[in-house]
């Protein structure tokens, strides 16, 4: 069935749609082959040849027009213009951008030279998703017809199994309900508050409950009120005095504590505490807006809530992440509320909208098919690529020429836990497994002979979280281990400790490249390149990125000494990728 244009088609949106298709082609996305076959010269090409062919924006526009039933792009433009004869088609139905309330950010000073890939206001004005309805209500204060029904449906979904037994889940959903507009006088909320307040009384009396739980519980109560105002003030005062060094214990404590402090700003003077907590983060995040093991989106949400000069500088450092993470529809998926709060507060929608559009940092040079399976991590053995099927605990050797499966071997696993990832070390397959003493047992490294499928050596890995991919650099094996990089010499078994200060938030797979290495990240929307001395060299788009709600678009990477290979598990392909002109631009280096 031929798709039809909406009742009020937007020419700029259609142009952005064509650019999104062109970007998907450069990333080797198989899903766009059908529409590109509407270009006559591409109509008979197989998928892989089509993705390898050079395609112009004009050809994509032609194909898009034909997909909507028009003979050519000019015919589509004429139709769209005629439908909006009395109005500017690019402005029809667009919401008004709210006035900025925060300190402006000088984009030149922080090294931002390119703006949005897609039009964010078109998404706010036209998307009928829950995220867009929340943004229109809570950020733009311009709800559209039907938004209340969208929000009510989400409220009913949350209340279906209310209240959750887990305190952390309760605090998260309580805050979400309040932000959706649920009245604190609603019986379900009153019942939950009674439960929450009983737990906070323990905290107020001096007994440490759990920093991960206390902060979000307290935030929810501060948003609604407590029957005992003095006890609420005392509880909040204890959080004000909380030692921020303790945030090392949990990936979310920092952000949740800051948000709880701000929510209770009417109860106590929070200035010294906010100075301390915001300064703590400002001194630690890198040029990509990341700090090891901390969710960068949760941190952004917290700094936008805090009215503090250093918070503005942190938002400036987060701009590369914000711009990179934008989805093809113009929004930021389930992160949209966080992002639009930041953009609107600092007047960034207009200023970024004036800059040249961002383009992809990578292009696909060559593609081979990937094996079937739940593939995670990849490595190079000098002649072949290897990928790991986590569901089957199998390592699969793949020909770099045509993707032929050369070998499958069952990875040996002794003890609790799961296989995390693979690498290559001195002729042996390096397999990581396990987790921590609390989850899935202690971590282990297996060095496996791929001819016999037997482990030649098994070594403990001394680290906090579950391991993933690895890469050899000199005599050492660098292992992604949760938020850490563990460095071990497998020959001697000696650990060289952990390194983590510039490696994104939660590294997943690694690939050595001379005296540096590339690494993917589970939270930050970047492919990083780091040196061996805590120095961040580059951060770029991860190949195949589609939006912040997608988990690990680039499941694995490997370097063959010349080329960087990237694993696209979604489309079951392995690609050689190379930098575009955009990807070769120097790092943004904020003077903040």
Q: Chunked in runs of 10, what are the mean pLDDT values of the chain (592 residues)?
A: 65 84 85 89 88 89 89 84 51 80 93 92 94 95 94 93 80 85 84 74 52 72 76 84 64 82 91 90 84 83 91 93 90 94 96 90 92 94 96 95 95 79 96 71 89 92 82 94 86 77 77 92 88 84 79 88 93 92 48 41
**Contact (Cβ atoms closer than 8 angstroms) between residue 98 and residue 141:** yes
Distance CA 36, CA 545 (A): 20
* Pairing mode, strands 564-568 and 516-521: unpaired
For residue 246, the model assigns a pLDDT of 55
**Contact (Cβ atoms closer than 8 angstroms) between residue 511 and residue 517:** yes
For residue 491, the model assigns a pLDDT of 93
For residue 582, the model assigns a pLDDT of 61
Per the structure block, which two tokens stand in for 566?
């990237």
Which residue matches tokens 């009245």? 183
DSSP state of 417: S
Distance CA 435, CA 482 (A): 9
For residue 223, the model assigns a pLDDT of 82
CA angle, 370 then 424 then 551, to 5°: 45
Cis ω on the peptide bond leading into residue 163 (within 30° of 0)? yes
Q: Which CATH architecture has domain 362-579?
A: 6 Propeller (2.120)
- Is 538 strand, coil or helix? strand
Residues 6+ apart with CB under 8 A from 208: none
H or E, element range at 25: helix 11-26
Phi-psi region for residue 444, left (φ > 0), alpha (ψ -120 to 50) or beta? beta
**Contact (Cβ atoms closer than 8 angstroms) between residue 396 and residue 389:** yes
Distance CA 524, CA 426 (A): 31
Distance CA 411, CA 414 (A): 10
Rounded CA Rg of the chain: 26
For residue 286, the model assigns a pLDDT of 82
**Contact (Cβ atoms closer than 8 angstroms) between residue 517 and residue 534:** no
Q: Which CATH architecture has domain 120-353?
A: Alpha/alpha barrel (1.50)
**pTM listed for this prediction:** 0.80
Distance CA 308, CA 317 (A): 15
Domain segments of the chain as ranges = 11-83, 120-353, 362-579
């Amino acid at each position: 069935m031929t798709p039809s244009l909406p009742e009020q088609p937007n020419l700029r949106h259609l142009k952005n749609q064509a650019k999104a298709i062109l970007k998907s082609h450069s990333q080797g996305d198989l899903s766009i082959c059908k529409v590109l076959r509407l270009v006559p010269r591409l109509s008979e090409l197989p998928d892989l040849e089509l993705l390898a062919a050079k395609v112009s924006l004009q050809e994509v526009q032609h194909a898009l027009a034909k997909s909507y039933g028009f003979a050519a792009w000019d015919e589509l433009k004429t139709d769209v213009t005629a439908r909006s004869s009395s109005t500017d088609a690019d402005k029809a139905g667009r919401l008004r951008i709210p006035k900025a309330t925060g300190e402006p950010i000088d984009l030149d000073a922080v090294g931002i030279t390119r703006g949005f890939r897609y039009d964010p206001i078109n998404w706010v004005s036209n998307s009928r998703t829950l995220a867009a309805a929340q943004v229109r209500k809570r950020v733009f204060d311009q709800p559209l017809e039907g938004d209340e029904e969208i929000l009510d449906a989400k409220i009913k979904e949350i209340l279906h199994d209310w209240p959750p037994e887990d305190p952390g889940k309760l605090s998260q959903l309580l805050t979400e309900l309040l932000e959706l507009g649920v009245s604190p006088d609603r019986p379900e909320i009153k019942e939950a508050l009674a439960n929450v307040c009983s737990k906070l009384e323990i905290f107020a009396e001096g007994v440490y409950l759990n920093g991960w739980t206390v902060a979000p519980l307290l935030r929810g109560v501060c948003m609604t009120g407590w029957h005992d105002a003095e006890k609420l003030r005392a509880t909040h005062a204890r959080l004000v005095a909380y030692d921020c060094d303790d945030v090392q214990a949990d990936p979310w404590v920092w952000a949740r504590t800051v948000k709880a402090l701000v929510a209770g700003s009417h109860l106590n003077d929070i200035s010294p505490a906010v100075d301390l907590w915001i300064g703590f983060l400002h001194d630690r995040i890198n040029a990509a807006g990341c700090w090891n093991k901390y969710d960068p989106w949760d941190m952004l949400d917290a700094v936008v809530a805090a009215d503090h000069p250093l918070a503005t500088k942190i938002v400036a450092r987060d701009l590369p992440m914000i711009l990179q993470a934008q989805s093809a529809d113009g929004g930021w998926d389930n992160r949209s509320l966080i992002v639009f709060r930041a953009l609107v507060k600092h007047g960034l929608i207009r200023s970024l909208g004036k800059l040249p559009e961002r383009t992809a940092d990578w292009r696909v040079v060559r593609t081979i098919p990937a094996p079937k399976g739940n593939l995670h991590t990849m490595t190079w053995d000098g002649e072949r690529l290897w990928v790991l099927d986590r569901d089957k605990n199998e390592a699969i050797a793949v020909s770099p020429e045509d993707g032929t499966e050369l070998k499958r071997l069952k990875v040996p696993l002794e003890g609790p836990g799961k296989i995390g990832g693979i690498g290559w070390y001195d002729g042996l397959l390096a397999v990581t497994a396990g987790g921590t003493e609390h989850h899935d047992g202690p971590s282990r490294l297996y060095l496996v002979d791929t001819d016999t499928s037997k482990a030649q050596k098994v070594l403990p890995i001394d680290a906090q979280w579950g391991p993933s991919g690895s890469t050899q650099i000199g005599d050492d094996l660098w292992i992604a281990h949760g938020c850490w990089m563990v460095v071990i010499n497998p020959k001697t078994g000696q650990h060289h400790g952990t390194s983590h200060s510039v490696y994104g938030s939660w590294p997943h797979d690694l690939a050595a490249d001379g005296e540096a290495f590339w690494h993917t990240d589970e939270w930050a929307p970047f492919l990083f390149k780091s040196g061996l001395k805590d120095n961040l060299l580059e951060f770029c788009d991860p190949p195949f990125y589609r939006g912040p709600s997608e988990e690990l678009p680039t499941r694995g990477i490997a370097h063959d000494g010349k080329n960087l290979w990237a694993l696209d598990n979604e489309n079951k392909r392995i690609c050689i990728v190379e930098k575009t002109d955009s990807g070769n631009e120097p790092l943004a280096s904020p003077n903040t």
